[in-house]
């Protein structure tokens, strides 16, 4: 409840606790990626600190090459980040579950490349452990 006694219009999530570094799975349970960052839209009126102003809204989950920036600082170029619209998220739990299959998403190519060019070269990397 806010100070006016009204419940917020949508679900309130703590970005660090509920979203960042969480795995994303598609409808078939395949891991798509991990949430590296969030894209948020601000209200059109620009009022973000007023008590009666609209709250910022989450628009996209961002995935991309963030390891180097976490180690050395800075930010990756926005065009290198891959986006999944927040509207595609069906459920928030220990993993984020999507409403659709991963095959149509642009974020799977990195994992396919790593599987084919790195993991496959490790002894035993071509099959599940027995």
According to DSSP, the residues that pair with 34 across neighbouring strands are 23
Cα angle at 49 between 42 and 57, to 5 degrees? 25
Homologous superfamily (CATH) for 15-102: PRC-barrel domain (2.30.30.240)
**Domain extents in the chain:** 15-102
Query: Over the stretch 72-127, which tens digit does the pLDDT of each residue have?
Result: 888 777 777 888 999 999 999 999 999 988 777 766 666 677 777 887 888 876 66
Contact of 115 with 105, CB cutoff 8 Å: no
d(CA 108, CA 85): 15
What CA–CA distances, in Å, run from 27 to 32, 59, 68, 97, 130?
A: 10, 20, 31, 7, 26
């Amino acid at each position: 409840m806010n100070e006016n006694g009204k419940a917020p219009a949508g679900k309130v999530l703590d970005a660090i606790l509920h979203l960042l570094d969480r795995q994303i799975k598609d409808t078939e349970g395949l891991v798509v990626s991990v949430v590296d960052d969030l894209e948020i839209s601000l209200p059109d009126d620009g009022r973000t600190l007023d008590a009666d102003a609209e709250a910022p809204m989450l628009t996209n989950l961002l995935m991309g090459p963030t390891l180097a920036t976490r180690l050395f600082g800075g930010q990756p170029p926005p065009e290198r980040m891959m986006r999944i619209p927040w509207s595609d998220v069906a459920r928030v739990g220990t993993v984020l579950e999507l409403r659709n299959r991963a095959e149509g998403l642009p974020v799977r190519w990195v994992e396919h490349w790593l599987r084919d060019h790195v993991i496959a070269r490790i002894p035993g990397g071509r099959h599940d452990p027995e």
